[in-house]
Chain A
Amino acid sequence: MIEARNVFKKFGDKVILDGVSGAFSPGRVNLVIGASGSGKTVFMKCLVGLMEADSGAVIYDEQDFSAMNHRQRKPIQQQIGMLFQGGALFDSMNVEKNVMFPLVMFSDMTPAERADRVSFCLERVHLENAGHLYPSEISGGMKKRVAIARAIANNPKYLFCDEPNSGLDPRTALVIDELIEEITEEFRMTTIVNTHDMNTVMGQGNRIMFIHQGRKSWEGSVDELMRSDNKELNDFVFASRVMQGLKKV
């Protein structure tokens, strides 16, 4: 379980996160939703330690991550997999080397074991034949899948996904969403997904946290979301025509 307690962050004079708290439980996909610029990425970066919160605490399974120094954090960080918005694949390495990279850096596997693990991960994301391609040679959806394979290479306990299906067509987006959900259940990971995609919310929103202008404005499940009378939430959710139609029926 990952817990955020009163996370506060500002850049200059601009308050980006205004005391966000929440708990994210293992074995399922926890969604963080909100409009662009509401602070989802900053929140996620504070959770994983890429940014330091100004105040508040981040707790990983009872361990106070935010109070640790770099060295103390390493064992936890090595259990974190993260899927970045643009994929963030290493341009200089082909797909196979990308997925192998965390294994080379952090495991004591023999080359044969590494190769096995890489082909397992690539198969898991249905990319068994793409190992030799470079990031510049593959499509956006494939990049995301490679990034998932790399994120799970080291068997992480925690998986963070920042807008995993932004910039993808609806069909590919659905594939990515389902993949993340399956992997989360299969390996009982604590998964946190940032999204503003209502398809994702409707598909896998059993636990949703809504961020509005740096504050947690609402949390609950999809069913509750459809019935909620939170104005900010309704403005966000029912901005799309499809969702307006859904509300009427």
Chain B
Amino acid sequence: MPAARRRIPPPVNFMNYLFDIGRYWIFMRGLFAKPEKFRVYIRQIFVEMEAMGYGSLGIVAINSVFMGAVITIQSAYNIVNPMVPLSAIGIVTRDSIIIEFSPTVIMMVLAGKIGSSIASEIGTMRVTEQIDALEIMGINSASFLVLPKIVAAVFILPFVVTISMFVGIFGGWIAGDLTGACPSADYLKGLQDSFLPFNITFALIKTVIFAFLITSISSYQGYFTKGGALEVGQSSTRAVVFSNILILLFDYICTQIFLA
């Protein structure tokens, strides 16, 4: 059987982006309606927090440990000048993890995990008429499905990212010590050198923004899915792609605003 030709949309379609931005905006405004049953929303928020927070710990821990290890070893490799003390490795690792790797890279990993799951969940509900079933009961389906996810993510992901920071720095410590790239004493000394608490604040601000972007973009992609199982998969892919692009864009904007 000859392979079916898939219709592949052009990579950049400016009018489509404008349309999406407009519809996303209207979608977001529609979310903040008065909830039908407050108690149900609250319960849903806790369910989502467990899925997004507790459910992400494994993937976040593994990624963070290796990230920390790689940063430590690479920093050691890059520091060739004998004038620079080894403790600088501790400083570099700590700051890159706090400022960039935990909030941005880990959130991009989570965009893959959480974003695709949100888009496919809501997309499936759309194509199997479950969203119509909510609407017919008089429930604001967008708000009912999406708001608890956004609230949960904005609340719980800063904790996840904070854990990732600890795990990443720990991973760097272990790797540096085991490979001899950075002895324990130097690393620990570096960790305490010239620490800026604002970096943590900055990281958590970014995390909150990224959490909002991931959940709202993925929900949007899922909610406006048309068609069947194939389109649900496409929505899920788009959710991850757009989340990642916007995370990087807003990472740049935040850095410009807060650090420049």
Binding site for B on A (CB under 8 A): 45, 48-50, 73-74, 77-78, 80, 82, 84-86, 88-91, 101-102, 104-106
**Given A90-B133, A105-B37, 6 other A-B contacts at CB below 8 A?**
A48-B136, A77-B136, A77-B138, A80-B136, A88-B129, A89-B130
Q: Which residues of A contact B125 (CB under 8 A)?
A: 90-91
Cross-chain pairs A/B with CB under 8 angstroms, 29 sampled: A45-B132, A48-B136, A49-B135, A50-B132, A50-B135, A50-B136, A74-B138, A77-B138, A80-B136, A82-B133, A82-B136, A84-B132, A84-B133, A85-B129, A86-B129, A88-B129, A88-B130, A88-B132, A90-B133, A91-B124, A91-B125, A91-B128, A101-B137, A102-B137, A105-B36, A105-B37, A105-B40, A106-B137, A106-B138
Give the docked Cα–Cα distance between A105 and B144 (Å). 11
Taking CB atoms and an 8 Å cut-off, the chain B residues in 12-67 that contact chain A are: 36-37, 40
State whether the Cβ of B139 lies closer than 8 Å to any Cβ in chain A: yes
Determine if A84 and B129 form an interchain contact, defined as CB atoms under 8 angstroms apart: yes
**CA distance in complex: A20, B78 (Å):** 76
Q: How many residues of B contact A (CB 8 A)?
A: 15
State how many angstroms separate the Cβ of B235 from the closest Cβ of chain A.
Answer: 17
Determine how close the nearest CB of chain A comes to the CB of B232; give it in whole angstroms. 13
Query: Measured between alpha carbons, how far is A48 from B136 in the docked complex, in Å?
Result: 7
Which positions 110-151 of chain B face chain A at CB distance < 8 Å?
124-125, 128-130, 132-133, 135-139
CA distance A101 to B36 in the complex (A): 12
Q: Which 7 A-B pairs have the closest CB atoms?
A: A77-B138, A88-B129, A88-B133, A84-B129, A74-B138, A82-B136, A88-B130
The secondary structure that dominates the A interface is mixed
CB nearest neighbor in A for B127: A86
B37–A90 touching, CB < 8 Å? no
Inter-chain CA distance A106–B138, complex, in Å, is: 9
Instruction: Indicate which residue in A78, A85, A91 contacts B137 across the interface (CB closer than 8 Å).
Output: A78
B128 cross-chain contacts in A, Cβ below 8 A: 86, 88, 91
A105 touches B139 (CB 8 A): yes
Chain B residues within 8 Å of A80, by CB: 136
Once the chains are docked, how many angstroms separate the CA of A78 from the CA of B135? 10
Residue of A nearest to B130 (CB): A88
Contact yes or no, A91 B138, CB < 8 A: no
**How far is B133's CA from A80's CA once the two chains are assembled, in angstroms?**
11
In the complex, what residues of A have CB within 8 A of residue B137's CB?
Answer: 77-78, 101-102, 105-106
